[in-house]
């Protein structure tokens, strides 16, 4: 709430201060292409108020196309990864608790703005039951070379099932500046995030969902494993990136990037559960803290004939701390319950453009006794702005994420100190986009792959432990997309094929995933409104979906229950009036006609029922 008050106060003060400065710009009716947003990777996007099928796909809490992700029953709770090719790969060791990071904003999720007049962006959408989701942003250039942006995203949804509340908040303060002589550039942001979930552990008796007992049509009556468990992921990050240009002739430049981030993950349970094993404590309170400080300094120069060359050195220092109860009989005062490490690396990057060719090569190696490395190479040929071919390769050797190495919990089964080898990942990919279709092909080879697995066969008892697979896994994916248009009608198609070669069922994925949308677009009410209506079908083939362990905030491999092989049918009606886009959707429409509920995200986690949801996106240009 305090972040929302800050945002509203900032809006009032800045708009009043800007009124005289923006009058001239408003009178000139600033071109929409002057409203721009970009991230640290220099990906620039123009603010777009049009209504396309892509806007329909991005109208969700993530605010991006989530094809390849399968959302759980409650909005903003969890996503199962259907398309492994889209999985984020981090070179440096991470905190862990990966499943809870699905809505967590990383550095590359933060965008900077440049606007000729104050910009306000509002997103609103209803949720499953009792709540709403909101994302509001205000961006102002107090000077042509100085921008301030304040944003707040939040959600609260009780959900259909008992003990499944989602309540999250993401505050962002963002600024970017460049000197008038174009020599000094700065980007900075602060992000504060608080992600809270009640954890019910899934459904105990799946027969309660078969429709034979009408009392369970009220989903809150369905029996769940945990009635008093919850988790919280909280993080604050301070980020700064700056550069100074010494010489314009050869673009000699020094660059500096730094950030400090503190996180904690907490699992609370009022009464211990026999499903999770033994504990000397009747009240479970697990808390893990993570502090990381990163610094990178680079020197680069750019010439017309040679391209841009960068040399850099960086330091990644972290400390992971665990809550220790000294009344625990297993507590060892002489043991080190903190995981602390500093990783230093050096590297170089080369970028070159010639006519329609673009090349990028990155080499990075750790120094001293930290065996990490990352090598990347990319070549791209642009036939035109929206017509290209791109090939890339990457080879990474990374230290295990911290949760695999060390864990402390009030539950006896979830304590370990496990040294693992580096994970080795090799990726070859190719993609193209042209007027006929979009396609991408990706081959990944995994060695010493880390994963979690339930060592107890009985689903009513979970003993999830980390393991390292000592054989290689080969993964191949093919993604195809094509939209067919005829007058006001269009059929948008996207399909992904996946093949995994492995001796054991470790990396389990659906063989294919598809999304087809048939829709109609036309202007109505004397062309005052643009109307878009249609039907979307999502489907993925049956496979052994990973299950979820709330104590760890992680998915784990299981080979007993398959999910999938069911369609999800959505009907939508969208409209645009000036800068306002209105959305109405009947989600999972076919759930009204199925006699037996047999659709699941993961074993014991049913997918959502039929819901009607609505909302809007609204841009204001002062």
**Distance between CA atoms of 454 and 466, rounded to whole angstroms?**
9
Is the pLDDT at 381 greater than 90, yes or no?
Answer: yes
What residue has token string 């009408």? 214
What was the pLDDT predicted at 613? Answer: 96
The whole-angstrom separation of Cα 258 and Cα 292 is: 11
pLDDT tens digits along 33-81: 789 898 877 677 888 889 999 999 999 999 999 999 999 999 999 999 9
- Category of 76 on φ-ψ map: left (φ > 0), alpha (ψ -120 to 50) or beta: left
How much is the average pLDDT of 316-340? Answer: 74
Residue 11 pLDDT greater than 80, yes or no: no
Question: Residue 303: its pLDDT value, please?
Answer: 79
Query: Could you tell me if 233 and 265 are in contact, meaning their C-beta atoms sit under 8 angstroms apart?
Result: yes
Q: How many domains in the chain? A: 1
Does 7 have pLDDT greater than 80? no
pLDDT at 13 over 60: no
Segments of 18-130 assigned E as strands = 36-38, 44-46, 69-71, 79-81, 112-114, 119-126
Instruction: Tell me the per-residue pLDDT of 577-611, one tens digit each, with 9 for 90 and over.
Output: 999 999 999 999 998 887 656 789 999 999 999 99
- Please give the pLDDT value at position 31: 77
pLDDT, residue 532, reads 97
Higher pLDDT, 12 or 100: 100
CA 115 vs. chain centroid, Å, equals 26
What's the confidence (pLDDT) of residue 458?
77
Segment 112-127 mean pLDDT? 95
Identify the domain containing residue 105 by its residue range: 2-621
Q: What percent of the chain has pLDDT over 90?
A: 76
CATH of the domain at 254: 2.40.170.20
Q: Which residue has the higher pLDDT, 371 or 577?
A: 577
Q: Report pLDDT for 479.
A: 97
24, burial (CB in 10 Å: exposed 0-12, middle 13-18, buried 19+): exposed
pLDDT in tens, 407-430: 999 999 999 998 899 999 999 999
| Cβ-based burial of 316 (10 A; exposed 0-12, middle 13-18, buried ≥19) | buried
Mean pLDDT of 96-111: 95
- CA-nearest of 194, 118, 184, 127 to 150 is 118
Query: How much is the pLDDT for 595?
Result: 61
For 181-199, what is the mean pLDDT?
96
Could you tell me which of 58, 149, 209, 104 has the C-alpha nearest to residue 607?
209
H or E element in which residue 18 lies: helix 2-27
**Residue 352, CA atoms < 13 Å, CB-side half-sphere:** 11
378 in Cβ contact with 359 (< 8 Å): yes
């Amino acid at each position: 709430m305090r972040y929302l008050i800050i945002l509203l106060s900032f809006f009032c003060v800045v708009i009043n201060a800007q009124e005289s400065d923006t009058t001239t710009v408003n009178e000139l009716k600033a071109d929409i292409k002057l409203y721009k947003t970009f991230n640290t990777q220099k990906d620039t996007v123009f603010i777009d108020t049009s209504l396309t099928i892509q806007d329909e796909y991005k109208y969700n809490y993530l605010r991006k196309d989530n094809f390849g992700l399968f959302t759980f029953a409650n909005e903003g709770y969890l996503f199962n990864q259907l398309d492994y090719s889209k999985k984020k790969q981090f070179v440096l060791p991470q905190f862990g608790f990966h499943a809870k990071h699905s809505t967590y904003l990383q550095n590359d999720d933060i965008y900077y703005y440049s606007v000729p007049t104050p910009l306000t962006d509002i997103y609103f959408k209803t949720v499953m039951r009792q709540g709403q989701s909101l994302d509001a942003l205000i961006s102002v250039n107090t000077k042509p070379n100085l921008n301030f942006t304040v944003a707040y995203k939040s959600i609260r949804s009780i959900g259909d099932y008992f003990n499944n509340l989602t309540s999250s908040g993401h505050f962002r303060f963002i600024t970017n500046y460049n000197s008038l002589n174009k020599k000094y550039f700065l980007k900075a942001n602060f992000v504060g995030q608080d992600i809270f979930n009640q954890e019910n552990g899934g459904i105990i008796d799946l027969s309660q969902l078969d429709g034979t007992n009408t009392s369970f049509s009220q989903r809150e009556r369905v029996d769940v494993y945990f009635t008093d468990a919850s988790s919280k992921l909280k993080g604050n990050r301070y980020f700064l990136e700056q550069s100074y240009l010494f010489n314009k002739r050869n673009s000699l430049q020094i660059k500096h990037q730094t950030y400090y981030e503190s996180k904690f993950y907490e699992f609370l349970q009022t009464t211990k559960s026999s499903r999770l094993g033994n504990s000397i404590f009747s009240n479970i309170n697990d808390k893990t803290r993570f502090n990381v400080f990163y610094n990178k300094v680079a020197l680069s120069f750019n010439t017309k004939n040679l391209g841009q060359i960068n040399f850099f050195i960086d330091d990644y220092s972290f400390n992971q701390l665990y809550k220790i109860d000294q009344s625990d009989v297993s507590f060892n005062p002489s043991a080190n319950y903190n995981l602390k490490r500093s990783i230093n690396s050096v590297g170089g990057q080369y970028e070159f453009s010639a006519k329609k060719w673009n090349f990028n090569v990155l080499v990075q190696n750790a120094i001293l006794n930290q065996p990490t490395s990352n090598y990347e190479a990319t070549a791209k040929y642009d036939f035109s702005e929206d017509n290209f071919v791109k090939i890339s390769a990457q080879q990474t050797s990374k230290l295990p994420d911290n949760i695999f190495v060390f864990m402390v919990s009030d539950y006896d089964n979830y304590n370990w100190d496990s040294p693992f080898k580096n994970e080795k990942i090799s990726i070859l990919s190719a993609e193209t986009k042209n007027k006929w279709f979009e396609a991408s092909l990706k081959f990944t080879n995994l060695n010493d792959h880390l994963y979690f697995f339930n060592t107890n066969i009985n689903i009513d008892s979970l003993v999830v432990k980390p393991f390292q697979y000592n054989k290689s896994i080969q993964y191949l994916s093919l993604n195809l997309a094509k939209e067919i248009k005829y007058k006001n009608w269009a059929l948008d198609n996207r399909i992904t094929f996946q093949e995994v070669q492995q001796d054991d069922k470790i990396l389990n994925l659906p063989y294919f995933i598809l999304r087809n949308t048939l829709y109609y677009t036309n202007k109505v009410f004397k062309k005052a409104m643009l109307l878009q209506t249609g039907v979307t079908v999502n489907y993925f083939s049956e496979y052994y979906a990973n299950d979820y362990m709330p104590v760890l905030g992680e998915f784990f491999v299981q080979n007993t229950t398959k999910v999938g092989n069911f369609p999800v049918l959505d009907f939508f009606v969208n409209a645009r009036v000036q800068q306002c886009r209105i959305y109405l959707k009947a989600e999972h429409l076919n759930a009204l006609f199925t006699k037996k509920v047999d659709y699941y995200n993961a074993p014991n986690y049913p997918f959502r029922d039929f819901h009607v949801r609505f909302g809007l996106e609204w841009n204001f240009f002062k």
